[in-house]
Amino acid sequence: MLLGDAEFFESEEAANQIDLAEIANPTFLLDTPEDSGITATLVELKFSLKQKNGPRFVVCSKNVLETLEFNGLRRKLDGDSIAKAVLKITFPDEQRGKRVELSGPNKLKFKRATHADDVFQLLKDWCLLVTEEEDEDTVELRIASAKLVGVANSSATRTDELSPTGTTGPRAEPRAK
């Protein structure tokens, strides 16, 4: 896939690298590899319901999926109405969890200083990140560049717009003081 392929950018598949609709699937879980020590939870979800007056909600909780289930809202979720999801992924070598924001069709935001390749893999495993099959060299190059940029921007939060090939382009946002 070349960036000069104008026909690709006019297709529907070009705009859908992040699939928030997967969260509305009743069987959706944030499973992590066994014995890895990694934990993951959905801590924020912004969505609307297809009802009269178009209500919109932002649910923040230590476990949003359980909160939605408890309040009878999970079964009412429609994949097309989810605007934003925030995950907290905790790795065994880090005390604090990594906050990963997903929104729009192509917006992914998280600190890349550590575990960038692990986060990408988990998002793919959960079917939240949809990419074309890449050869090993392309994947290794993308991960290596994400690590390098993450080290250079370790004091900044990265917001990336995913390209149609699943690679990212940095847009550094200064850290709030």
CA distance 143 to 7: 28
| 76-87 confidence digits (pLDDT tens) | 888 889 999 999
DSSP-derived pairing of the beta strands 82-90 and 98-103: antiparallel
Which helix (DSSP H) or strand (DSSP E) does residue 141 occupy? helix 136-152
Per cent of the chain over pLDDT 90 is 40
Contact (Cβ atoms closer than 8 angstroms) between residue 130 and residue 143? no
pTM of the predicted model, to two decimals?
0.69
78 to 9, 26, 69, 108, 112: CA distances (angstroms) = 26, 10, 14, 21, 31
Q: What is the mean pLDDT of the chain?
A: 76
Between 88 and 5, whose confidence is greater? Answer: 88
pLDDT of residue 153: 43
| 23-58 confidence digits (pLDDT tens) | 999 999 999 998 899 999 999 999 998 888 888 999
Q: Is the dihedral of CA 74, 79, 81, 86 positive or negative?
A: positive
| 9-22 confidence digits (pLDDT tens) | 344 544 568 889 99
CA distance 9 to 102: 21
pLDDT of residue 172: 44
What is the pLDDT confidence band of residue 113, given thresholds at 50, 70 and 90? confident
Q: Is the dihedral of CA 15, 98, 80, 171 positive or negative?
A: negative
